[in-house]
Amino acid sequence: MDASPLPPQITINGVQFNATPGQRPLRVDGCMTIGQLFQKRCADLGQRTAHREKDFGIWKSFSWADYWQHAKWIGLALRQLGLNRGEVVSILSEDRKEWAWFDLGIQCVGGITSGVYTTDSASQLQYLVTDSDSRFLIVENEEQLDKFLEVEDALPSLQKVIILDDEGLHDLNHPRCMMIADLYALGQQAEARDPDLFEAEIEKTSPQDTALLIYTSGTTGQPKGAMLSNENILAAIESGARALPTLETDEQLCFLPLCHILERDVSIYFPLAGKCTVNFAESPETVFANLQEVSPTTFTAVPRVWEKIYSQVLIMAQEATPAGRAAFGLALKAGMARAEYIHRGEPVPAGVAARFWLWDRLVLRNLRRMLGMDRLRRGGTGAAPISGELLRWYWAIGVPLVEGFGMTETAGIASLNTPEINRIGTIGQPVIGNDLRIAEDGEIQIKGLNVFQGYWRNNAKTAETFTADGWLRTGDMGHLDEDGFVSITGRLKDIIITAGGKNITPAEIESRLKFSHYISDAVIIGDRRKFLTALIMIDQENVEKLAQDRKIPFSNFASLCAAPQIRELISQEVAAVNKEFARVEQIKDFRLIDVLLTAEDDELTATMKLKRGFVEKKHAHLIEDMYT
Amino acid sequence: MSEPILKIRNIESFYGPIMAIRGVSLDVHPGQIVSILGANGAGKTTLMKTVSGVMDPEKGTITFDGAQIQGSEPHKVVQRGIVHVPEGREVFPLMTVDENLSLGAYTLTDKAQFDHDRELVFSYFPVLKERRNQEAGTLSGGQQQMLAIGRGLMANPKIMLLDEPSLGLSPLLVQEIFGILKRLNEEQNMTMMLVEQNANAALELAHHGYVMEIGRIVMDGEASDLMQSEDIQNFYLGVKEEGARENRRWKRKKTWR
């Protein structure tokens, strides 16, 4: 910590920040780097629970002291194995406490953490490790280890692979692999030799040092590693603390990939400041059960997850008794009426409030308890557009769900709605501490201490990302309304120019399509073509349910997509969307993607969004079919 | 192709509150052998029971030979020409082979037809003729399975539903019984719907295959195509994927393509 006198400070929920946000030196509780903050928290909180993880069906607690001790061993051991400051360590694992332990351990000794999605293939792993020039690779288990073994000859500069889970690997004998227990042992010895080394390493880090690399899943071309500094993350924390208040007593559920900046902020860095407890979901498949068990006070997810929960409730309601269905309908109506007033910013009339209170007691409260949202103070959604209808529905059942916007390059946070200041259909107001402007061509541009340092060893791309006067080009187009709320209309580089010379932003049409219950994602085609068409991925669960309800026979996914009634259904959805757009922007024809895509497929990002480039290439035959 | 003899559409069946079949649609064409593959609890046996009338579906239709039969009493279903050879054979142990066969023919009234059918059964399963006066409970497992199939044949069915005929049998016996089923299909043009865990034997025998998982069909196709599918090979045929390491324990995710 530097000796200069502190600028005026304010305290938000027990954490001290600069009174004027967005100013150097950025301080969180007096700390200027992630490592310092981590050290302070662990020393202060000691035996309080930092993480919970489920082990053989029982939630086990791990304290801040455990966090510190393990991170320390990890950092010291990696250092001893040859990790130098400024070198990268890659982590290939599902979310678990060790992810956080490694992230902090690596950063405290000056390393840079880079996450790899568990759905990535061996060749993608090879690219990421090579591009980041990683010295070490952390793999979760034998499945992930096999990806390394497949490409190990192509990764000569990788020194060691550390395995977290040794199940099935007891007889593994590989010169470049070691188990986590051995790493801890090494760390313990190093600690015994030099007890103060770890703390000394933390002190060496400056706010400008790169703390992490986040590879952005470009829809075209290879992923690029965005470098985020300690200061960037502290800026995100500073903005987050003001817009997304965290309390010490908060419980969170961590389940989105930690390789993604959204979950990383929410589950590792924000809790460092907020002192709350993070519960790790057992697996991506058990999220809904874990949600019930944990009943978090704040919960951040992607629209897909919110849609899934909504569908489940709808199905439950449909299968309830007629009386139950009627009660749910009335409760929802009461909720909607109240939400209307809240969204208009008007006081809720006593009658409406009373009606809601009654239905809340009778129905909605139980519903929220069933979903694990009975303690929820704030639900967040980001990373993809969400339908306004869905947001309203959640407000109606008493879940304050708000949409925000951030990108890797802005350390995950840029503009936010809050339960108090919320305008549905926008991504909220720019967060305090970063400036946002709309450029002449409609692009949203951002400046602030949260804006990243550049792309790892790729100055050309970095230069492309900044304007001449130093603003970050987000690549998204949008506008600001009179109250400063931002709306996004589409991606700049996705603009379609039809054969008739008309400029069209496909994202606008695509998000409208996606808001349909039956469409999970869509890609609009039409660049240099006479008219627009769409490739549509249907929502398996909802469409299967509908087919079953309407007695539409199908066997597998392909036959479901081929059923004429399903085509007709989607065609109606498309027609409904078409009504909202001008004639040149209307979809003249569409095809369904009749293979069930998984996150392992090239066409999907890890957050299950269709990648335009890959989809256009892989389904070229469908596209050609529509234009001949 | 000919009109299917058995058409199942959007069937849902429950055990109390548990939905065992969550919307299954499939077709069986005359003269075809259709296999249904799936792990324990996928709903294969429930599907068979629903067709044969032992269970009633909550929803959906079963059309057999042009008439809807869902929810019919089992004996009515047998009279229409659907015979269910249950899992675990279920022969009457204290009755002789002959008596067991006679019971299978209870829908028949014509003595000449009965004699003809029994001769047919004996021609396919000569061992049953040798042991016709022996109590069925004293037969070996393979012989009991033959008796169960023979008993089914005695009803002179248009389609046989075979629930795991390979259960508990030695590989040699499985080969023998499946050989006889193949001959029955080829020589008597017998239509069959076969539920199996022994995917290899089932796909060798069948013309068409369906794969069920937790109450739904996830994949279907010509048996020869299914055998080429990577998912079927990995999860049903025990083919090991080439991995980077020996002793690999994890399996890739199913995609059903």
ipTM of the complex: 0.79
Provide mean pLDDT across the span A293-302: 95
B9: left (phi over 0), alpha (psi -120 to 50) or beta: beta
**Bridge partners for A10 per DSSP:** A17
What is the pLDDT at residue A115?
Answer: 97
What is the pLDDT at residue A218?
Answer: 60
The DSSP line for A120-165 is: --HHHHHHHHHHHTEEEEEE-SHHHHHHHHHHGGG-TT--EEEES-
* CB-based contact, B256 to chain A, within 8 Å: yes
Provide mean pLDDT across the span B40-68: 93
Q: What's the Rg (C-alpha) of chain B?
A: 19
With CA atoms as reference, report the closest residue to A269 among A194, A218, A214.
Answer: A214
Residue A493's pLDDT band (cuts 50, 70, 90): confident
Chosen for mutation from A94, A551, A555, A608 (greatest number of chain B CBs closer than 10 Å) is: A555
What is the pLDDT at residue A490?
Answer: 86
More confident residue, A400 or A283: A400
Chosen for mutation from B21, B249, B254 (greatest number of chain A CBs closer than 10 Å) is: B249
Closest by Cβ to A598, choosing from B218, B249, B255: B255
Give the dihedral of Cα atoms A94, A99, A103, A106; nearest 10 deg.
-110
**Spatial contact of B128 and B143, defined as CB atoms under 8 Å apart:** yes
- Structural domains in chain A, CATH included, are 31-205+248-280 (3.40.50.12780), 298-491 (3.40.50.12780), 495-627 (3.30.300.30)
What is the pLDDT at residue A3?
Answer: 52
- Minimal C-alpha gap between B182 and chain A (Å): 26
Residue A219's pLDDT band (cuts 50, 70, 90): low
Find the residue in B nearest to A168 (Cα): B249
With CA atoms as reference, report the closest residue to B18 among B39, B43, B36, B40.
Answer: B43
* CB-based contact, A123 to chain B, within 8 Å: no
Residues A598, A577: Cα–Cα separation, whole Å: 26
pLDDT of residue A32 exceeding 70, the answer is yes
Burial class (CB in 10 A: 0-12, 13-18, 19+), B126: exposed
**Spatial contact of B153 and B117, defined as CB atoms under 8 Å apart:** yes
- CA A597 vs. chain centroid, Å, equals 20
pLDDT of residue A395 exceeding 90, the answer is yes
- Minimal C-alpha gap between A140 and chain B (Å): 13
Cα first-last separation, chain B: 24
Task: Return the amino acid letter for A513.
Answer: L
Residues A137, A60: Cα–Cα separation, whole Å: 27
Residues 41-100 of B with CB under 8 A from A: 59-61
* CB-based contact, B12 to chain A, within 8 Å: yes
For residue A25, is the peptide bond before it cis, meaning its omega torsion is within 30 degrees of 0?
yes
With CA atoms as reference, report the closest residue to A404 among A412, A396, A394.
Answer: A412
Name the token pair of B102.
């006679």
* CB-based contact, B240 to chain A, within 8 Å: no
What is the pLDDT at residue A1?
Answer: 47
With CA atoms as reference, report the closest residue to A120 among A263, A285, A260.
Answer: A260
Residues A495, B224: Cα–Cα separation, whole Å: 46
What is the pLDDT at residue A158?
Answer: 96
* CB-based contact, B18 to chain A, within 8 Å: no
pLDDT of residue A4 exceeding 70, the answer is no
More confident residue, A221 or A162: A162
- Minimal C-alpha gap between A604 and chain B (Å): 14
Residue A220's pLDDT band (cuts 50, 70, 90): low
Closest by Cβ to B217, choosing from A147, A171, A555: A555
- What residues of chain A lie within 8 A of the CB of B243, using their CB? 146
Q: Which long-range contacts (CB under 8 A, 24 or more apart) does A6-10 make?
A: A6/A30
pLDDT of residue A2 exceeding 70, the answer is no
What would the pLDDT profile of B168-209 be if each residue is shown by its tens digit? 899 999 999 999 999 999 999 999 999 998 899 999 999 999
- Minimal C-alpha gap between A169 and chain B (Å): 9
pLDDT of residue A498 exceeding 90, the answer is no
Per the prediction, chain A carries an average pLDDT of: 93
What would the pLDDT profile of A41-64 be if each residue is shown by its tens digit? 999 999 999 999 999 899 999 999
Contact A168 B23 (CB under 8 A): no
C-alpha distances out from residue A624 to A202, A523, A588, B188, Å: 58, 14, 14, 48
Can you give the pTM of this predicted structure? 0.88
Per the prediction, chain B carries an average pLDDT of: 91
- CA B169 vs. chain centroid, Å, equals 15
Residues B47, A300: Cα–Cα separation, whole Å: 41
Residues A522, A592: Cα–Cα separation, whole Å: 9
Residues A599, B90: Cα–Cα separation, whole Å: 46
What would the pLDDT profile of B5-44 be if each residue is shown by its tens digit? 999 999 999 998 888 998 999 999 999 999 999 888 899 9
* CB-based contact, B219 to chain A, within 8 Å: yes
What would the pLDDT profile of B124-155 be if each residue is shown by its tens digit? 999 999 999 999 999 999 999 999 999 999 99
- What residues of chain B lie within 8 A of the CB of A122, using their CB? 244
Residues A239, A625: Cα–Cα separation, whole Å: 49
